[in-house]
């Protein structure tokens, strides 16, 4: 062990090695560009930014009203803010917590046509200084701050900046009690530890009227997550840098130092190859040109019948907008399906009430940002060879722009399944065998929020179906324990999880991903219909059957009618229909939400984290469209009290019939860890579908062609020998 360093030395080391466990906007080009320089060779088309990277962004102009803010636009906004009277003196410039496109009014976007001049480009800036949160819509061309709303000591703060986290972590690490606690555990405070700041949640007095971070530490290693310094929690006031409390309840708990946690290939490749992992790589290949087209501006994608605008977003990670389908009938008209779809919030409560764990009830989008934690995708591995990539331009805390390359990928997918098929029994007199391979378009973003990696896919099918999929991988958040075998544990329930390795408990937790789905089925005025299935008894003598399942359509009049808790034995389909757009048969044009396997929160409704995340109380909600209601946990989610979220908005019980409505769906996962989740978790996923229902006259892919050998690429190096 090295000698004890000076506090100043310690601070410096901590500064450079700090674990910013919880996502931060990366501020510096060099760090990012060096990551990017590891890029594998590009194949399969340009990235939508022509691969020119940084330079490209400095000069590129927006093309579509929903294109994200460009490098130059962010620079302009910074300069507008800097010259604003309220921030003009050098020390009053606030820290920028969020700076993103303020979308034009929906009607303006719907009215815009390619070639039209763009509607005014605007940004919504959320800034913070001296206990005041500033919400600032800014108009770029007129260089005006349109409004300046100031909230003093609000219930809820903007997401943390890297500066916040660095300062708080430094303050924590410099505290003598922390240094002693680390030394007590035999670790070197200067070189052997990684500390990181964690969102505190909101539980009352300690988090009241001040911004608070909790700091915890790990023994340093490439997979430091598996070596927690258990029981040591430092509570820091982010605004004053004051340590509020140092809690150490883990003196009897060893720091796990398992040696097989390094999952990196450079380490694993030294292990003998086993049959289980010796699989020859595969690739999706396409003879001829990709079927995808990327429009001017690099964000509008056309594929099969679809057109959809895709953009990275600092908070949501990725936003898909203006999803429209060109109906093969009716003169090829473009028909609206979804105006906007995105991850609105992500709630991750851990299930240990103890001092070092109770507060771990994260809201990853609002506290950290799914986009600010979306790092460059790993080509060929995160996305297939044929993927194209989109870069993101985000604003740092000082308001300057930076480029995050390869944050979104888009690719055509063939997975060996069929879009439709039928074989006729040959004895019927027809020789019919028809099958059509299924090909889809996938837009993907991965957010690495600390230990967890969330892959969000939007998949568009040729039959008009949209599938959203969230995949989870990364590292467990684990707890150190003195136990090495379950038989030593007095009460297994008191582990609050599963023993996944020596002295390591994978703590039970949930993930709830709440999607914002602004459906515009054939236009904005839609209704939500529960197509309810219920048992109907037959009348005596009516039928040899005693019962059948009857379908009853129930149109939701107000928000209350549309709050849904899914029940297997009380099922419904969930349709968003346009009541004014009837098919020739009289069926309203619609899309239905088809939930996948899911999970619901079991927390008490009056438990503080559940109140903050009350948007998880129902799996489905429907609200009238309201520009200010996009983030299910509220605009200011950090330390929010639960008084500005979807559940609260929806208490107004507004009218939603034949209105512009927004559908909210929450996908859930219960995670009881197991040994296989150690030291890195195999991907698990869940999905939901948005599926056309009486939207098309007939199956829209009936005309698709089957494959023949001549259609497929000729590849060398292929040895089909079994």
**Ranges within 28-67 binding a copy of itself (CB under 8 A):** 31-32, 34-35, 38, 40-41, 43-46
Residue 517, strand partner residues: 341, 663
List the catalytic residues.
364, 452
Residues 246, 442, 632, 656: which binds a copy of itself (CB under 8 A)? Answer: 442
By beta-carbon proximity to a copy of itself, the closer residue of 141 and 712 is 712
Least distance in Å: CB of 448 to a copy of itself?
Answer: 4
- Binding status of residue 303 toward a copy of itself by CB under 8 A: yes
Written as six digits, the tokens of 13 are: 């080391």
Q: How far apart are CA 664 and CA 619, in angstroms?
A: 8
By beta-carbon proximity to a copy of itself, the closer residue of 141 and 602 is 602
Which span (142-150, 241-249, 390-398, 589-597) binds a copy of itself, by CB under 8 A? 589-597
- Per CB under 8 A, contacts with a copy of itself among 132-171 are 162
Q: How far apart are CA 721 and CA 361, in angstroms?
A: 52
Alpha helices in 570-688 (DSSP H): 608-612, 646-650
Written as six digits, the tokens of 342 are: 């995105």
Answer for the pair 291, 412: CB distance below 8 angstroms, yes or no. yes
Give the burial class of 3: count Cβ atoms within 10 A of its Cβ; 0-12 exposed, 13-18 middle, 19 or more buried. exposed
Give the three-state DSSP class for 32: helix
By beta-carbon proximity to a copy of itself, the closer residue of 85 and 544 is 544
Which span (113-121, 234-242, 244-252, 577-585) binds a copy of itself, by CB under 8 A? 577-585
- Per CB under 8 A, contacts with a copy of itself among 107-126 are none
By beta-carbon proximity to a copy of itself, the closer residue of 133 and 619 is 619
Residues 124, 508, 555, 648: which binds a copy of itself (CB under 8 A)? Answer: 508
By beta-carbon proximity to a copy of itself, the closer residue of 88 and 702 is 702
By beta-carbon proximity to a copy of itself, the closer residue of 96 and 500 is 500
Least distance in Å: CB of 681 to a copy of itself?
Answer: 6
Least distance in Å: CB of 79 to a copy of itself?
Answer: 27
Q: How far apart are CA 612 and CA 608, in angstroms?
A: 6
Answer for the pair 255, 482: CB distance below 8 angstroms, yes or no. no
Which residues are CB-neighbours of 151 under 8 A, at least 6 positions away? 132, 133, 134, 135, 636
- Binding status of residue 280 toward a copy of itself by CB under 8 A: yes
- Binding status of residue 354 toward a copy of itself by CB under 8 A: yes
Residues 63, 566, 579, 659: which binds a copy of itself (CB under 8 A)? Answer: 566
- Binding status of residue 290 toward a copy of itself by CB under 8 A: yes
Q: Give ∠ CA 404-407-409 in degrees, rounded to 5.
A: 145
- Per CB under 8 A, contacts with a copy of itself among 70-109 are none
- Binding status of residue 385 toward a copy of itself by CB under 8 A: yes
Which span (1-9, 123-131, 529-537, 659-667) binds a copy of itself, by CB under 8 A? 529-537
Residue in 475, 477, 397, 508 with CA at minimum distance from that of residue 216 = 477
Residue 99, strand partner residues: 125
- Per CB under 8 A, contacts with a copy of itself among 209-248 are 222, 224
Least distance in Å: CB of 198 to a copy of itself?
Answer: 14
Residue in 469, 461, 500 with CA at minimum distance from that of residue 484 = 500
Residues 58, 533, 555, 648: which binds a copy of itself (CB under 8 A)? Answer: 533
Residues 92, 209, 538, 580: which binds a copy of itself (CB under 8 A)? Answer: 538
- Binding status of residue 369 toward a copy of itself by CB under 8 A: no
C-alpha to C-alpha distances, 479 to 373, 503, 556, nearest whole angstrom: 24, 8, 46
Residue in 596, 647, 668 with CA at minimum distance from that of residue 348 = 668
- Binding status of residue 697 toward a copy of itself by CB under 8 A: yes
By beta-carbon proximity to a copy of itself, the closer residue of 53 and 305 is 305
Q: How far apart are CA 319 and CA 312, in angstroms?
A: 6
DSSP secondary structure code for residue 330 in this structure: G
- Binding status of residue 695 toward a copy of itself by CB under 8 A: yes
- Per CB under 8 A, contacts with a copy of itself among 323-342 are 325-328, 332
- Binding status of residue 208 toward a copy of itself by CB under 8 A: no
By beta-carbon proximity to a copy of itself, the closer residue of 35 and 135 is 35
Alpha helices in 83-139 (DSSP H): 106-111
Return the CA Rg of the chain. Answer: 27
Residue in 622, 648, 616 with CA at minimum distance from that of residue 635 = 648
Least distance in Å: CB of 165 to a copy of itself?
Answer: 9
Q: What is the DSSP string of 295-306?
A: -TTS-EEEETTE
Give the burial class of 120: count Cβ atoms within 10 A of its Cβ; 0-12 exposed, 13-18 middle, 19 or more buried. middle
- Per CB under 8 A, contacts with a copy of itself among 394-423 are 411-423
């Amino acid at each position: 062990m090295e000698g004890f360093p000076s506090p100043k030395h310690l601070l410096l080391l901590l500064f450079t090695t700090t674990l910013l466990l919880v996502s931060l906007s990366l501020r510096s080009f060099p760090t990012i560009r060096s990551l990017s320089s590891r890029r594998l060779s590009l194949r399969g088309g340009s990235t939508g930014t022509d691969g020119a990277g940084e330079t490209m962004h400095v000069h590129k102009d927006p093309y579509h009203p929903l294109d994200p803010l460009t490098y130059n636009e962010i620079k302009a906004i910074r300069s507008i803010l800097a010259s604003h009277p309220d921030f003009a003196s050098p020390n009053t410039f606030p820290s920028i917590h969020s700076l993103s496109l303020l979308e034009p009014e929906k009607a303006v976007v719907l009215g815009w046509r390619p070639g039209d001049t763009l509607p005014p480009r605007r940004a919504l800036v959320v800034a913070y200084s001296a206990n005041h949160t500033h919400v600032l819509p800014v108009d770029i061309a007129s260089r005006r701050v349109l409004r300046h709303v100031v909230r003093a000591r609000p219930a809820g703060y903007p997401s943390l900046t890297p500066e916040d986290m660095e300062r708080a972590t430094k303050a924590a690490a410099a505290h003598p009690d922390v240094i002693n606690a680390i030394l007590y555990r035999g670790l070197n405070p200067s070189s052997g530890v990684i500390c990181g700041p964690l969102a505190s949640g909101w539980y009352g007095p300690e988090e009241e009227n001040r911004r608070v971070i909790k700091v915890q530490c790990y023994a340093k290693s490439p997979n430091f997550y598996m070596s927690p310094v258990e029981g040591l929690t430092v509570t820091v006031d982010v605004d004053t840098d004051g340590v509020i409390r140092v809690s150490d309840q883990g003196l009897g708990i060893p720091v796990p130092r398992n040696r097989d946690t390094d999952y990196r290939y450079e380490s694993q490749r030294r292990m003998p190859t086993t049959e289980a992992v010796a699989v020859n790589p595969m690739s999706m290949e396409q003879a001829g040109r990709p079927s995808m087209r990327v429009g001017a501006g690099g964000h509008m994608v056309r594929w099969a019948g679809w057109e959809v605008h895709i953009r990275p977003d600092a908070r949501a990670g990725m936003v898909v907008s203006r999803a429209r389908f060109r109906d093969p009938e009716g003169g090829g008209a473009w028909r609206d399906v979804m105006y906007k779809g995105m991850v609105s919030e992500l709630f991750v409560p851990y299930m240990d009430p103890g001092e070092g764990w109770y507060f771990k009830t994260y809201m990853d989008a609002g506290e950290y940002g799914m986009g600010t934690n979306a790092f460059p995708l790993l080509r060929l591995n995160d996305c297939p060879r044929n993927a194209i990539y989109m870069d993101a331009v985000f604003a740092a805390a000082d308001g300057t722009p930076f480029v995050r390359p390869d944050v979104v990928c888009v690719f055509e997918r063939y997975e060996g399944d069929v879009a439709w098929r039928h074989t006729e029994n040959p004895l019927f007199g027809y020789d019919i065998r028809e099958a059509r391979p299924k090909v889809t378009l996938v837009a993907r973003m991965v957010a690495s929020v600390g230990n967890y990696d969330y892959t969000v896919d939007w998949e568009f099918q040729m039959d008009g179906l949209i599938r959203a999929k969230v995949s989870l991988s990364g590292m467990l958040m684990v707890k150190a324990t003195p136990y090495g075998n379950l038989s030593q544990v007095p009460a297994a329930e008191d582990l609050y999880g599963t023993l996944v390795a020596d002295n390591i408990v994978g703590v039970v937790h949930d993930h709830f991903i709440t999607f914002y789905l602004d459906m515009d089925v054939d236009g904005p005025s839609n209704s939500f219909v529960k197509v309810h299935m219920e048992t109907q008894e037959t009348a005596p003598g009516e039928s040899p059957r005693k019962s059948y399942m009857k379908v009853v359509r129930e149109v939701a009049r107000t928000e209350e009618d549309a709050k849904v808790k899914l029940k297997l034995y009380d099922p419904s389909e969930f349709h968003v229909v346009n009541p004014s757009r009837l098919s020739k048969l009289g069926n309203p044009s619609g899309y239905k939400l088809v939930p996948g396997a899911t999970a619901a929160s079991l927390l008490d409704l009056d438990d503080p984290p559940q109140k903050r995340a009350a948007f998880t109380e129902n799996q489905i909600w429907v609200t009238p469209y309201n520009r200010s209601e996009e983030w299910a946990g509220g605009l200011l989610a950090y330390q929010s009290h639960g008084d500005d979220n979807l559940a609260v908005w929806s208490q107004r019980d507004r009218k939603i019939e034949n209105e512009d409505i927004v559908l909210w769906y929450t996908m859930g996962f219960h995670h009881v860890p197991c040994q296989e989740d150690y030291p890195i978790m195999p991907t698990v996923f869940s999905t939901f579908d948005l599926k056309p229902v009486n939207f098309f006259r007939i199956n829209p892919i009936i005309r698709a062609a089957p494959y023949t050998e001549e259609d497929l690429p000729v590849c060398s190096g292929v040895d089909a020998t079994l």
